[in-house]
């Protein structure tokens, strides 16, 4: 476990505030008029999706601390009361900016392009007639209005569901006059409905489900007078709790816990900005929330639902240009994936290069009579994964298939439970790793009987085995049959499926055993070199940088004269550029078309230039509470590729790169140089030079 802090607490930045700062950078993409218009809408929706998770997990954790009366400060020295106050203030500002951008900029720009969201007050008679028919046939049959009275208490409102609070006047057939009702919109109903073109006068006309319900809510309460109808949405604590010490069967325990996710403690209430104070106070009381938890929004309360709009609109000119990912040269002419890997190690850079070789490895392994066993870790892979289909077929053909399924992969638990059940049905060995440690390592091992004996074919990656995300996340994957790396991967699988002490590994650094120690040692070696007057350099790219001991080692290295460049997409607790502390450290964040997801660690190492790739960020959870692997790139040509494509290209980016100052604020740097965008350059290079790539 990490040691006590050696630096003052104010040398560290707060995690929650830096996470909100990340979402502000994402929102800047939506405001950037150089980004295609429908992609700007997507970025706006991504901010909403990110904020949902922020409230479900991070804000919910803060509220739990407040409920328990905790005053324990985090690594930054800020008590939870102060963190919550600042987080609430920043979140309100961010959401206000988000809706202002939507209403004042993006929706008018879309309307100029013939993509219109028609307001209820502007419906024509023909549109009203079509919408009413839609309400009667499609919406009304699945609605269950709930009048609030002693026999109908306030309903259990699902997490993040769309609901309507209705104020009523009059009495019903039974003489009841409670004056209020709740209407829950089933999740099966689309939130955005396309109108027929002939009714709109534009190419793409849409109405919101909320507008349809507002217009016709009176038909749900016959004979009553509707005084007001307001949409609302509650966000709940969605962090699952499974007691590691008490659990006997992780799968059964998780199945029992999952349904409660939809009904955890409320942490945020969103209401329409015209909602009456009386109804707002009533809702806050029902959910046990305070005024600081209330978010009044001028528009629909769930912008995530707009994410589907770009896919419904055939306007390629308003979207990113499609691209065909390339293939490494060694794979362009060979159809035998095993022969290709025997020839040389193969590096794939996603999404610029295709994920297909990994799928082909499993596909050929399932059909190859010489393959006797397949082992794989599954963290996120999706509900309809082609990889899982190949694993199922391999098991059905009698091969020894072992899959380590991480049941606690947040928000993928249900999909992974389903995958586990299907694999067990066909005779695969399914294990759930180690209780108390998430299996986050991305490993695939195929054991094949050949003339020289058994040979292990390995895939290691920085991302997930999810064919969908490989089109949008930047990641590296390595295919190799290096026998020593194969031995290391086999050893890690032994730990995951069996019992015993952790054996020494030749090349891999593994959490929770050696990763933290080896990473610190590599940083300290650069520090020693700098103190001795030798060249010293560290470049690291990751999603998050939070682990205090690593940060302190970087501070030490900076003071010794090590030049340090950190490319951190999201949260970063390190303060760069502080005189006498971190003068030699620069922190950048790159936000663009693709989600920057690879973890790359470069050390000068007295000229050896060691490069490691990993599934792990520099966070306490990755070092101490997860099973991770960090693997070296041994081939000199591939090493040069990683350095060029994964690091240097991002250090020269002046188009989508943000630089962090010592206060945790990010700024794009104005430059007179020609525009350099790392992602665009890599896309162009992989298209043009695919056949020349190693």
C-beta of residue 492 within 8 angstroms of C-beta of residue 508: yes
Predicted confidence (pLDDT) per residue in 191-209, tens digit: 999 999 999 889 999 999 9
**Average pLDDT for 500-510:** 90
pLDDT at 409: 52
Predicted confidence (pLDDT) per residue in 138-159, tens digit: 999 999 888 887 556 788 888 9
Sign of CA dihedral 106, 112, 116, 120: positive
Backbone angles phi, psi at 642, to 5 degrees: -60, -45
Q: Which of 73-77, 483-487, 608-612 has the lowest mean pLDDT?
A: 73-77
**Average pLDDT for 512-532:** 98
pLDDT at 331: 85
Position 691 pLDDT exceeds 60: no
pLDDT band with cut points at 50, 70 and 90 for residue 502: confident
* CA separation for the pair 585, 580 (Å, rounded): 11
Angle, CA of 572, 355 and 685, to the nearest 5° = 75
Whether 440 sits among the annotated catalytic residues: the reply is: yes
Position 261 pLDDT exceeds 50: no
**Average pLDDT for 483-497:** 95
Position 287 pLDDT exceeds 80: yes
Q: Which residues contact 67 (CB under 8 A, 6 or more apart)?
A: none
Q: Where are the alpha helices (DSSP H) in 223-349?
A: 250-257, 277-287, 309-312, 329-332, 337-343
pLDDT at 469: 86
Predicted confidence (pLDDT) per residue in 375-401, tens digit: 999 887 766 788 889 999 999 999 999
Q: Does domain 510-692 have CATH number 3.30.870.10?
A: yes
Give domain limits for the chain.
9-318, 329-504, 510-692
pLDDT band with cut points at 50, 70 and 90 for residue 414: low
Q: Average pLDDT over the chain, rounded to whole?
A: 90
pLDDT at 382: 67
CA 538: distance to chain centroid? 26
215 against 409, higher pLDDT: 215
How is domain 329-504 classified at the architecture level of CATH?
Answer: 2-Layer Sandwich (3.30)
Is 510-692 the same fold as 9-318?
A: no
Predicted confidence (pLDDT) per residue in 584-604, tens digit: 999 999 999 999 999 999 999
* CA separation for the pair 462, 542 (Å, rounded): 10
Long-range contacts of 486-494 (CB under 8 A, 24+ apart): 486/445, 486/455, 486/456, 486/457, 486/458, 487/456, 489/443, 489/445, 489/456, 489/458, 489/460, 489/629, 490/445, 490/456, 492/441, 492/443, 492/627, 492/629, 493/375, 493/402, 493/404, 493/443, 493/445
* Burial (Cβ within 10 Å: 0-12, 13-18, ≥19) of residue 675: exposed
Position 645 pLDDT exceeds 60: yes
For residue 691, how many other CB atoms are within 10 A of its CB? 11
- Cα 205 to Cα 120, 229, 678: the distances in Å are 13, 24, 36
Position 250 pLDDT exceeds 90: no
Predicted confidence (pLDDT) per residue in 617-633, tens digit: 999 999 999 999 999 99
pTM of structure: 0.91
Topology of the domain covering 9-318: polyphosphate kinase like (3.30.1840)
pLDDT at 8: 83
**Average pLDDT for 266-279:** 95
Total residue count of the chain as it appears in this document = 694
Predicted confidence (pLDDT) per residue in 537-565, tens digit: 999 999 999 999 999 999 999 999 999 99
**Average pLDDT for 604-627:** 96
DSSP-assigned letter for residue 647 = I
* Burial (Cβ within 10 Å: 0-12, 13-18, ≥19) of residue 4: exposed
Please pick, among 204, 214, 390, 440, the residue that the annotation labels catalytic: 440
């Amino acid at each position: 476990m990490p040691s006590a802090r050696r630096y003052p607490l104010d040398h560290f930045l707060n995690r929650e505030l830096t996470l909100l700062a990340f979402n502000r950078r994402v929102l800047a993409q939506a405001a950037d008029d150089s980004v295609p218009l429908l992609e700007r809408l997507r970025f706006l929706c991504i901010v909403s999706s990110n904020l949902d998770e922020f409230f479900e997990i991070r804000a919910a954790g803060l509220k739990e601390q407040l409920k328990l009366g905790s005053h324990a400060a985090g690594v930054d020295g800020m008590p939870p009361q102060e963190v919550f106050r600042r987080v609430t203030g920043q979140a309100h500002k961010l959401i206000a900016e988000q809706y202002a951008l939507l209403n004042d900029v993006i929706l008018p720009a879309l309307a100029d392009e013939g993509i219109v969201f028609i307001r209820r007050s502007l419906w024509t008679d023909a549109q009203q007639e079509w919408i009413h028919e839609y309400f009667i046939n499609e919406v009304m049959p699945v609605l269950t209005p709930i009048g609030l009275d002693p026999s109908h208490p306030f309903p259990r409102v699902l997490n993040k569901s769309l609901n309507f609070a209705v104020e009523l006047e009059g009495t019903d057939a039974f003489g009841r006059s409670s004056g209020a009702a709740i209407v829950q919109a089933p999740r099966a109903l689309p939130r955005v409905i396309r109108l027929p073109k002939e009714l709109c006068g534009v190419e793409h006309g849409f109405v919101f489900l909320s507008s349809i319900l507002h217009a016709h809510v009176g038909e749900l309460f016959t004979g009553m007078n509707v005084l007001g109808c307001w949409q609302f949405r509650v966000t709940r604590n969605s962090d699952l709790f499974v007691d590691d010490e008490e659990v006997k069967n992780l799968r059964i325990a998780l199945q029992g816990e999952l349904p409660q996710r939809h009904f955890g403690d409320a942490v945020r209430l969103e209401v329409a900005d015209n909602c009456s104070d009386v109804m707002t106070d009533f809702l806050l009381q029902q959910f046990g929330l305070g005024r600081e938890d209330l978010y009044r929004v001028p528009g629909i309360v769930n912008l995530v639902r707009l994410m589907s709009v770009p896919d419904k609109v055939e306007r390629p000119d308003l979207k990113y240009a499609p691209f065909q990912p390339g293939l490494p040269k060694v794979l362009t002419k060979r159809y035998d994936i095993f022969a290709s890997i025997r020839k040389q190690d193969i590096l794939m850079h996603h999404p610029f290069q295709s994920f297909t070789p990994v799928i082909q490895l499993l596909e050929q392994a399932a059909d190859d009579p010489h393959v006797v066993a397949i082992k794989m870790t599954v963290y996120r892979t999706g509900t309809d994964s082609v990889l899982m289909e190949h694993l199922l077929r391999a098991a059905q053909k009698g091969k020894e298939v072992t899959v380590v399924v991480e049941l606690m992969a947040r928000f993928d638990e249900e999909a992974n439970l389903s995958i586990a059940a299907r694999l067990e049905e066909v005779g695969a060995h399914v294990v759930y790793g180690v209780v108390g440690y998430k299996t986050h390592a991305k490993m695939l091992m195929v054991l094949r009987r050949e003339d020289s004996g058994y040979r292990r074919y390995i895939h290691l990656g920085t991302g997930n085995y999810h064919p969908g995300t490989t089109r949008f996340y930047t990641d590296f994957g390595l295919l190799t049959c290096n026998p020593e790396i194969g031995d290391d991967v086999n050893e890690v699988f032994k730990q995951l499926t069996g019992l015993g002490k952790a054996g020494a590994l030749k090349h891999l650094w593994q959490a929770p055993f050696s990763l933290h120690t080896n990473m610190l040692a590599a940083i300290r070696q650069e520090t020693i070199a700098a103190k001795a007057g030798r060249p010293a350099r560290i470049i690291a790219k990751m999603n998050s940088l939070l682990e205090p001991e690593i940060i302190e080692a970087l501070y030490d290295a900076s003071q010794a004269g090590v030049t340090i460049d950190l490319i951190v997409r999201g949260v970063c607790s390190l303060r760069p550029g502080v005189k006498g502390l971190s003068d030699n450290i620069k922190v950048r964040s790159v936000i663009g078309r693709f989600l920057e997801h690879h973890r790359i660690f470069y050390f000068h190492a007295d000229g050896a230039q060691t490069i490691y790739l990993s599934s792990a960020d520099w966070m306490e959870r990755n070092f101490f509470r997860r099973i991770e692997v960090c693997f070296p790139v041994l081939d000199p040509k591939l090493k040069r590729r990683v350095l060029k494509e994964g690091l240097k290209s991002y250090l020269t980016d002046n188009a989508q790169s943000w630089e962090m100052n010592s206060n945790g604020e990010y700024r794009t740097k104005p430059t007179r140089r020609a525009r350099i965008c790392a992602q665009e350059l890599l896309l162009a290079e992989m298209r043009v030079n695919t056949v020349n790539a190693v």
